[in-house]
Structure 1
């Protein structure tokens, strides 16, 4: 059993600042255009999340019209093109965002997730690490987890485990990284380590479908039929409730 690969893209509001070397009027103009773009970005991503692709595109294109040199406008439209399965258009927008903000951790991280989805694992790994290396980038655990998921997708479990461990160093509450490490430990037959990790997971989060599936598999592999059946019963109870 392999856990699903769920990459983290980063979209959040940032402080809007103008260039202090220009006149006050021009600073205000830059701020205004970015604020207008941010409003359209917010609307566009909201429509995108709700499945209204037409309204999403209209608003994200208006964001670029307001501020064509604003990296978040390009990044958001790239995200839209990913959603509608237009990888060539998405890459074009990602590259524009990178040209505008080559040291922005969010841009680097999101481009890394895109490259990994396209099967370009080595280049994706470079971009995740470039994001991690940025001195003012705060979402290190997200990029480490994304790098781990990409390494896992490429078949490099050793590198993946290292990245998931680093993700947990920065944020011990990343559930997906915890479960991915437990799965790798079961694959490596490090059953005691995996069992302890999953027990701690249940103390933090309670019983979850994926964690119970992993424990049921673990106990089946070590031949502990009683515990395997116990976890399977708990899993069946949760799945039954979900169906009701």
Structure 2
């Protein structure tokens, strides 16, 4: 009994220590709603940004403060505050807010990206590049193409066009169909006057199935610069018909394309290159309209045969003197072969005369201008040959030729010599008179060898 009572008291004591939250007269327990501070903070941030876009800065700041009260260690709260300060012109407060966000989470890529954009806006190009590149290096970052595009746009602001092209290409590699990067890269090529590359990038953008008034205006400018007037007019008509209320259509309608972003970028690029020339010039200044003195070189005269001949002075040659000096050529008649099988004609050349002084004394040619590679001469070349020592006449100073000539089927020797003597000039007649009987040409009439035809089986009688 005592034990049962003790047990009952113990049970009552235990039930007295338990508290149950329930409605009066209802056994259903009350569920305590726990607030998600991170979600609430992000909701307040979204409201703040919406108010800020409409120009209601006071409501934007209020919601940001509520977000900070919910989650003070959330990086989004602080870089949202930084963006608010940036929009209202408080750059010092914005810089502090960004640094505080980075201190809370150094590996937050969104903080690094937004901080880089802010630094670029306040002319801190080097620091901006550093922050944007750090954002890209974070492995968990998925908006790499956007950061590369921010880098390129920031580089253009500081006339770093080479790096801008590199960053645009990197952005396209990470997002091949990113429209803003494609059009911006084409615009950069247009600014550099690389029209073919600009057209290729625009064609790649159009092949993706997208079209916009911005891309069409750039295409219009490219075609116009390339001289494709018909294509340019067709593109302009497309802009006016498809996007009549766009700013690009207004520029074409008013013929104010010089005020477009692409022409402004083109002028910026040209001015940047002019500044580079000015910085690198020794005098420190570049004249926009320099006076240039052009010296036209005279064309070299054409080298022709007639010009070379006119430049060479030729002394006429006295034929009589040459013949007298050379004592002409000696012609020797060879005896007719007695054998019937011998039909070959032999020509014997004699040795050359070594007395060249007599020849050179008669051939004096004065050259005023001589070219080593191509030299033409109007003086005919004379080939000399001397008679053998056995057949040389008593006067050894007169060179003679010892050529043996045999002819068949022509006139007799006396008739040929007579005809030759009638047609010869006085100097040639003198030359023929000086020839001996052994040196004169004698023509022989060929004779038929009947034994040859008889042995071959041919008939001697005509058919």
Q: Work out whether the TM-score is over 0.5.
A: yes
Q: Distance in 2 between matches of 1:146 and 1:76?
A: 18
What is the DSSP-based 3-state SS (H/G/I as helix, E as strand, rest coil) of the residue aligned with 1:240?
coil
Unaligned runs of 5+ in 1: 1-28
Q: Distance in 2 between matches of 1:66 and 1:117?
A: 30
Give RMSD over aligned pairs.
1.9
Structure 1 residue 119 and structure 2 residue 123: aligned? yes
**1:117-176 deviations in Å (ceiling 9; x for gaps):** 111111101111000011211111111111111111111111111111111111112111
**Distance change >3 Å, CA 211–CA 53, structure 1 → 2:** same
**Distance change >3 Å, CA 34–CA 207, structure 1 → 2:** closer
Q: Distance in 1 between matches of 2:220 and 2:139?
A: 42
How many residues are aligned here? 214
Q: Distance in 2 between matches of 1:36 and 1:183?
A: 43
Shift of 1:242: 4.5
Q: Distance in 2 between matches of 1:227 and 1:35?
A: 54
TM-score, normalization by structure 2: 0.44
Relative contact order (C-alpha < 8 Å, sep 6+): which is higher? 1
Q: Distance in 2 between matches of 1:94 and 1:188?
A: 36
Unaligned runs of 5+ in 2: 1-33, 248-463
**Distance change >3 Å, CA 32–CA 240, structure 1 → 2:** closer
**Cα pair 2:125 2:154 within 8 Å, conserved:** yes
Shift of 1:37: 1.8
1:193 to 188, 193, 197: 197
Q: Distance in 2 between matches of 1:209 and 1:143?
A: 25
Shift of 1:207: 3.2
Task: Give 1:16's aligned residue.
Answer: none
Structure 1 residue 214 and structure 2 residue 218: aligned? yes
**1:80-127 deviations in Å (ceiling 9; x for gaps):** 112222212211211111111112111000000000111111110111
Structure 1 stretch 48-57 or stretch 213-222: which is displaced more?
A: 48-57
Please state which structure has a larger fraction of its residues in helix: 1
Q: 1:129-148 to 2 correspondence within 5 Å?
A: 129-148=133-152
Q: Distance in 2 between matches of 1:76 and 1:239?
A: 36
TM-score, normalization by structure 1: 0.81
Runs of 4+ in 1 over 4 A off after TM superposition: none
**1:62-88 deviations in Å (ceiling 9; x for gaps):** 111222222111011111112222212
Q: Distance in 2 between matches of 1:111 and 1:227?
A: 44
